[in-house]
Amino acid sequence: MCLLYLVVLVQLLATSGASQSGIVGGREAKKHSRPYMVSLQHKGTHCCGGMLIREDFVLTSGHCLESHPLTVVLGAHSLSKPEKTQQKIEVTRYLRHPLHLKYNQTEYDVMLLKLKTKAKLNKFVKLIGLPKKNGETSANVKCSVAGWGMVESETSASDVLMETTVKTGSNSDCKRVWQQHFKPSQMMCTLTDAGKGFCQGDSGGPLVCKSKAQGIVAFNYAPNCKDTRYPHVYMKIPFFMPWIKEMLNE
Protein backbone atom coordinates (compact mmCIF):
# COMPACT_ATOMS: atom_id res chain seq x y z
CA MET A 1 0.00 0.00 0.00
CA CYS A 2 1.28 3.43 -0.87
CA LEU A 3 0.98 5.97 1.95
CA LEU A 4 0.68 9.74 1.62
CA TYR A 5 3.48 10.69 3.96
CA LEU A 6 3.64 13.37 6.60
CA VAL A 7 7.06 14.82 7.38
CA VAL A 8 6.71 16.60 10.70
CA LEU A 9 8.69 19.77 11.34
CA VAL A 10 9.42 19.57 15.03
CA GLN A 11 9.08 22.67 17.24
CA LEU A 12 7.86 24.90 14.42
CA LEU A 13 5.07 27.06 15.84
CA ALA A 14 4.22 24.01 17.98
CA THR A 15 1.71 22.49 15.53
CA SER A 16 2.98 22.86 12.00
CA GLY A 17 4.17 20.15 9.67
CA ALA A 18 5.12 19.34 6.12
CA SER A 19 3.34 17.07 3.70
CA GLN A 20 4.16 15.05 0.74
CA SER A 21 2.43 16.98 -1.70
CA GLY A 22 -2.64 17.33 -4.27
CA ILE A 23 -3.71 20.50 -5.76
CA VAL A 24 -5.99 22.93 -3.94
CA GLY A 25 -7.79 25.88 -5.49
CA GLY A 26 -7.14 24.40 -8.90
CA ARG A 27 -8.82 22.85 -11.92
CA GLU A 28 -8.56 19.78 -14.08
CA ALA A 29 -5.68 20.14 -16.51
CA LYS A 30 -6.32 19.89 -20.24
CA LYS A 31 -5.60 16.30 -21.21
CA HIS A 32 -1.92 15.71 -21.95
CA SER A 33 -1.09 19.42 -21.79
CA ARG A 34 1.77 18.60 -19.42
CA PRO A 35 3.47 15.66 -21.16
CA TYR A 36 6.45 15.81 -18.80
CA MET A 37 4.35 14.91 -15.74
CA VAL A 38 5.05 11.61 -14.01
CA SER A 39 2.96 9.57 -11.60
CA LEU A 40 5.17 7.52 -9.30
CA GLN A 41 3.31 4.41 -8.20
CA HIS A 42 3.87 1.62 -5.70
CA LYS A 43 1.91 -1.56 -6.43
CA GLY A 44 -0.41 0.36 -8.71
CA THR A 45 -1.18 3.19 -6.28
CA HIS A 46 -0.11 6.80 -6.86
CA CYS A 47 2.43 8.02 -4.30
CA CYS A 48 4.30 11.00 -5.71
CA GLY A 49 4.73 13.23 -8.71
CA GLY A 50 7.82 13.72 -10.80
CA MET A 51 9.09 15.11 -14.09
CA LEU A 52 10.78 13.49 -17.08
CA ILE A 53 14.11 15.25 -17.70
CA ARG A 54 15.73 12.70 -20.01
CA GLU A 55 14.42 9.63 -21.81
CA ASP A 56 15.83 7.49 -19.01
CA PHE A 57 15.67 9.80 -15.96
CA VAL A 58 12.94 11.24 -13.75
CA LEU A 59 13.51 14.04 -11.22
CA THR A 60 11.48 13.91 -7.99
CA SER A 61 11.66 14.32 -4.19
CA GLY A 62 14.00 12.31 -2.01
CA HIS A 63 11.33 11.36 0.52
CA CYS A 64 9.32 9.61 -2.23
CA LEU A 65 11.68 6.67 -1.71
CA GLU A 66 9.72 5.81 1.45
CA SER A 67 7.62 3.63 -0.87
CA HIS A 68 9.53 1.26 -3.10
CA PRO A 69 9.85 -0.31 -5.54
CA LEU A 70 8.40 2.49 -7.65
CA THR A 71 6.98 2.36 -11.14
CA VAL A 72 7.06 5.42 -13.39
CA VAL A 73 3.82 6.15 -15.29
CA LEU A 74 4.17 8.55 -18.22
CA GLY A 75 1.58 9.97 -20.61
CA ALA A 76 -1.25 9.78 -18.07
CA HIS A 77 -4.27 11.98 -17.43
CA SER A 78 -6.61 9.60 -15.60
CA LEU A 79 -5.04 7.12 -13.21
CA SER A 80 -8.07 4.81 -13.04
CA LYS A 81 -9.05 4.53 -16.71
CA PRO A 82 -7.03 2.61 -19.32
CA GLU A 83 -5.20 5.04 -21.60
CA LYS A 84 -3.27 3.96 -24.68
CA THR A 85 -1.03 7.00 -24.16
CA GLN A 86 0.45 5.63 -20.93
CA GLN A 87 3.91 4.14 -20.58
CA LYS A 88 4.78 2.21 -17.41
CA ILE A 89 8.48 1.74 -16.74
CA GLU A 90 10.30 0.17 -13.81
CA VAL A 91 12.98 2.03 -11.86
CA THR A 92 16.41 0.41 -11.72
CA ARG A 93 18.35 2.99 -9.64
CA TYR A 94 17.27 5.40 -6.91
CA LEU A 95 19.77 8.26 -6.75
CA ARG A 96 18.84 10.26 -3.69
CA HIS A 97 20.96 13.32 -2.89
CA PRO A 98 23.68 12.13 -0.46
CA LEU A 99 23.01 14.98 2.00
CA HIS A 100 19.26 14.35 2.24
CA LEU A 101 19.43 12.02 5.23
CA LYS A 102 22.59 13.55 6.70
CA TYR A 103 20.72 16.72 7.66
CA ASN A 104 16.97 16.10 7.78
CA GLN A 105 14.11 15.12 5.51
CA THR A 106 13.33 18.68 4.46
CA GLU A 107 16.84 19.53 3.23
CA TYR A 108 18.41 18.32 -0.03
CA ASP A 109 15.09 16.60 -0.74
CA VAL A 110 15.91 15.61 -4.31
CA MET A 111 16.14 12.27 -6.11
CA LEU A 112 16.80 11.01 -9.62
CA LEU A 113 15.23 7.78 -10.87
CA LYS A 114 17.04 5.79 -13.54
CA LEU A 115 14.54 3.99 -15.75
CA LYS A 116 14.90 0.37 -16.84
CA THR A 117 14.08 1.32 -20.43
CA LYS A 118 14.01 4.66 -22.19
CA ALA A 119 10.70 6.45 -22.52
CA LYS A 120 9.31 6.73 -26.03
CA LEU A 121 8.94 10.45 -26.67
CA ASN A 122 5.84 11.57 -28.55
CA LYS A 123 3.13 14.23 -28.20
CA PHE A 124 1.95 12.61 -24.96
CA VAL A 125 5.38 12.08 -23.37
CA LYS A 126 7.97 14.85 -23.53
CA LEU A 127 10.91 16.20 -21.54
CA ILE A 128 10.69 19.33 -19.42
CA GLY A 129 13.34 22.01 -19.70
CA LEU A 130 15.59 22.66 -16.72
CA PRO A 131 17.07 26.02 -15.69
CA LYS A 132 20.69 27.05 -15.75
CA LYS A 133 22.89 26.81 -12.69
CA ASN A 134 22.51 29.70 -10.22
CA GLY A 135 19.48 31.08 -12.02
CA GLU A 136 17.02 32.87 -9.74
CA THR A 137 13.24 33.31 -9.91
CA SER A 138 12.23 36.63 -8.39
CA ALA A 139 9.15 37.23 -6.21
CA ASN A 140 5.64 37.69 -7.68
CA VAL A 141 6.32 35.59 -10.77
CA LYS A 142 3.35 33.57 -12.01
CA CYS A 143 4.11 29.86 -12.10
CA SER A 144 2.07 26.67 -12.12
CA VAL A 145 2.01 23.41 -10.21
CA ALA A 146 0.18 20.20 -11.05
CA GLY A 147 -0.40 16.74 -9.66
CA TRP A 148 -2.69 13.85 -8.80
CA GLY A 149 -2.61 14.43 -5.06
CA MET A 150 -5.44 15.18 -2.66
CA VAL A 151 -7.96 17.84 -3.67
CA GLU A 152 -9.50 20.02 -0.95
CA SER A 153 -10.68 17.76 1.89
CA GLU A 154 -10.62 14.45 -0.01
CA THR A 155 -8.73 11.58 1.56
CA SER A 156 -7.40 9.93 -1.58
CA ALA A 157 -5.46 10.95 -4.66
CA SER A 158 -7.22 12.70 -7.52
CA ASP A 159 -8.12 10.47 -10.47
CA VAL A 160 -7.22 13.14 -13.05
CA LEU A 161 -4.31 15.55 -13.29
CA MET A 162 -5.09 18.85 -11.56
CA GLU A 163 -3.28 22.17 -11.93
CA THR A 164 -3.26 25.66 -10.48
CA THR A 165 -1.47 28.98 -10.90
CA VAL A 166 0.63 30.33 -8.04
CA LYS A 167 2.92 33.30 -7.39
CA THR A 168 6.44 33.03 -6.08
CA GLY A 169 7.25 34.55 -2.72
CA SER A 170 10.41 36.23 -1.52
CA ASN A 171 13.00 34.52 0.65
CA SER A 172 11.94 36.78 3.52
CA ASP A 173 8.31 35.61 3.13
CA CYS A 174 9.42 32.01 3.48
CA LYS A 175 11.99 32.54 6.20
CA ARG A 176 9.63 34.54 8.40
CA VAL A 177 7.18 31.64 8.58
CA TRP A 178 9.33 28.53 8.26
CA GLN A 179 12.29 29.96 10.21
CA GLN A 180 15.27 27.56 10.38
CA HIS A 181 13.49 25.00 8.21
CA PHE A 182 13.71 27.24 5.15
CA LYS A 183 17.11 27.34 3.47
CA PRO A 184 17.15 30.18 0.87
CA SER A 185 20.08 28.72 -1.06
CA GLN A 186 18.29 25.45 -1.87
CA MET A 187 14.59 26.31 -1.43
CA MET A 188 11.97 28.66 -2.87
CA CYS A 189 8.31 29.23 -2.02
CA THR A 190 4.94 30.25 -3.44
CA LEU A 191 2.35 32.33 -1.61
CA THR A 192 -0.97 30.85 -0.50
CA ASP A 193 -2.92 34.10 -0.05
CA ALA A 194 -5.24 32.97 -2.89
CA GLY A 195 -5.76 29.55 -1.33
CA LYS A 196 -3.89 27.82 -4.14
CA GLY A 197 -1.10 25.31 -4.10
CA PHE A 198 -0.37 21.65 -3.48
CA CYS A 199 -1.42 19.15 -0.81
CA GLN A 200 -0.69 15.52 0.06
CA GLY A 201 0.16 13.30 -2.91
CA ASP A 202 2.17 15.61 -5.26
CA SER A 203 5.68 15.64 -3.83
CA GLY A 204 8.31 15.60 -6.53
CA GLY A 205 6.18 17.41 -9.10
CA PRO A 206 7.55 20.50 -10.86
CA LEU A 207 6.93 24.16 -10.19
CA VAL A 208 6.93 25.50 -13.76
CA CYS A 209 7.83 29.14 -14.40
CA LYS A 210 8.17 30.46 -17.95
CA SER A 211 8.08 26.94 -19.41
CA LYS A 212 10.95 25.61 -17.29
CA ALA A 213 10.95 23.59 -14.07
CA GLN A 214 12.29 25.87 -11.35
CA GLY A 215 11.22 23.94 -8.26
CA ILE A 216 10.39 20.48 -6.92
CA VAL A 217 7.32 20.22 -4.65
CA ALA A 218 8.63 19.68 -1.12
CA PHE A 219 6.50 20.63 1.90
CA ASN A 220 3.69 22.77 3.27
CA TYR A 221 1.47 23.07 6.35
CA ALA A 222 0.09 19.54 6.57
CA PRO A 223 -3.06 20.12 8.70
CA ASN A 224 -4.49 22.53 6.12
CA CYS A 225 -2.95 22.87 2.66
CA LYS A 226 -4.97 26.05 2.01
CA ASP A 227 -3.88 27.89 5.17
CA THR A 228 -2.89 31.29 3.81
CA ARG A 229 -0.36 31.88 6.59
CA TYR A 230 2.05 29.24 5.28
CA PRO A 231 3.92 29.56 1.96
CA HIS A 232 4.40 26.31 0.06
CA VAL A 233 8.03 25.25 -0.25
CA TYR A 234 9.96 23.73 -3.17
CA MET A 235 13.51 22.56 -3.69
CA LYS A 236 15.23 25.13 -5.93
CA ILE A 237 16.33 23.26 -9.06
CA PRO A 238 19.09 25.72 -10.11
CA PHE A 239 20.90 24.99 -6.83
CA PHE A 240 20.92 21.27 -7.62
CA MET A 241 21.90 21.50 -11.30
CA PRO A 242 25.59 20.62 -10.76
CA TRP A 243 24.58 17.45 -8.88
CA ILE A 244 21.89 16.58 -11.44
CA LYS A 245 24.34 16.94 -14.35
CA GLU A 246 26.93 14.84 -12.52
CA MET A 247 24.43 12.02 -11.96
CA LEU A 248 23.18 12.12 -15.56
CA ASN A 249 26.72 11.83 -16.87
CA GLU A 250 27.82 8.95 -14.66
Q: 6-27+129-238 sits in which CATH class?
A: mainly beta
Q: Could you tell me what percentage of the chain is helix, strand and coil, using 3-state DSSP and rounding each to the nearest 5?
A: 15, 35, 55
- Kindly give, in sequence order, each residue whose CB lies less than 8 Å from that of residue 101, ignoring residues fewer than 6 positions away: none
Active site residue 63: yes
Query: DSSP class of residue 132?
Result: P
Active site residue 202: no
Q: Looking at this protein, which amino acid is placed at residue 51?
A: M
Do domains 6-27+129-238 and 35-127+241-248 share one topology? The answer is: yes
pLDDT tens track for 153-207 = 455 667 899 999 999 999 998 999 999 999 999 999 999 877 788 887 889 999 9
Which residue is catalytic, options 63, 77, 100, 232? Answer: 63
Instruction: Place domain 35-127+241-248 in its CATH homologous superfamily.
Output: Trypsin-like serine proteases (2.40.10.10)
Q: Which residue has the higher pLDDT, 82 or 7?
A: 82
pLDDT tens track for 88-145 = 999 999 999 999 877 767 899 999 999 999 999 999 999 999 998 676 778 899 999 9
Annotated domain spans of the chain: 6-27+129-238, 35-127+241-248
Active site residue 203: yes
pLDDT score at 4? 41
Which residue is catalytic, options 16, 19, 158, 203? Answer: 203
Q: What is the DSSP string of 161-193?
A: -EEEEEEB--HHHHHHHHGGG--TTTEEEE--T
Query: DSSP class of residue 131?
Result: P
pTM of the entire predicted model: 0.89
pLDDT cut 70: percent of the chain above it:
86
- Kindly give, in sequence order, each residue whose CB lies less than 8 Å from that of residue 153, ignoring residues fewer than 6 positions away: none
Shortest CA distance to 245 belongs to which of 112, 49, 120, 98? 112
Which residue is catalytic, options 109, 144, 158, 202? Answer: 109
Total number of residues shown for the chain: 250
